Chains A and B, each alone.
Chain A
Amino acid sequence: MFLKRLTIPLIIVFVLGLLAFVQDYVPHPLAGEFREEMTSWSRIIGGFALFLGAYSLLHMHVTRIRRKTAGWGYSVFVFIGAAFMIVVGLHNEGLGPLQDIEGGTTWFDWGYDNIVVPCGGTIFSILAFFMASAAFRTFRARNLGAALLLIAAVIVMFGRVPISETVGQWVFGSSAVFPKLTDAIMDYPNLAAKRGIMLGISLGAISQSMRILFGIERSYLGGD
Chain B
Amino acid sequence: MAQRQAEMRQFNTVRWTIYILVALVVVLPYVLRLPLPLKFTPSRDVRKLYDRMDSLKPGSHVLLSLDYDAASQAELQPMSRALLEHCFKKGLIPIVMTHWQSGLGLDKQVIDEVANKAKEALGKEVKSGRDYVFLGFKPGYSNLVLNMGENLKGAFDKDYFGQSTGDMPALQGVTSLKDIDMGVDLAAGSDVGMWIAYGSDRFNFPLGAGTTAVQAPDMTPFLDSKQLVGLLGGLRGAADYETLLDMPDGGTTGMLAQSSTHVLVILLIVAANARLLLGRSARKRE
Contacts and interface: CB of A to CB of B under 8 A. Distances in A.
A133 B18 contact: yes
Given A162-B259, A165-B38, A179-B41, A133 B73 contact: no
A162 B255 contact: yes
Given A46-B139, A100-B162, A131 B265 contact: yes
Contacts of A78: none
B218 A194 contact: yes
Contacts of B70: 116-121, 124
A6 interface: no
Contact of A161 (B109, B143, B220, B258): B258
Contacts of B19: 129, 132-133
A96 interface: no
A191 B221 contact: yes
B217 A136 contact: no
Contacts of B213: 160
A190 B217 contact: yes
A128 B73 contact: no
Contact of A132 (B44, B162, B224, B265): B265
Contact of B217 (A43, A113, A118, A186): A186
B46 to A, nearest CB: 12
Contact of B71 (A120, A131, A194): A120
Contacts of A112: 105
B73 A121 contact: yes
A179 B44 CA distance: 10
A136 B269 contact: yes
Contacts of B264: 132
A160 B271 CA distance: 21
Given A131-B265, A186-B217, A141 B143 contact: no
22 contacts: A35-B150, A39-B146, A39-B147, A100-B161, A112-B105, A116-B105, A117-B70, A120-B102, A124-B72, A129-B22, A131-B265, A132-B265, A137-B14, A158-B263, A162-B38, A166-B37, A166-B38, A175-B41, A183-B43, A186-B220, A191-B221, A194-B220
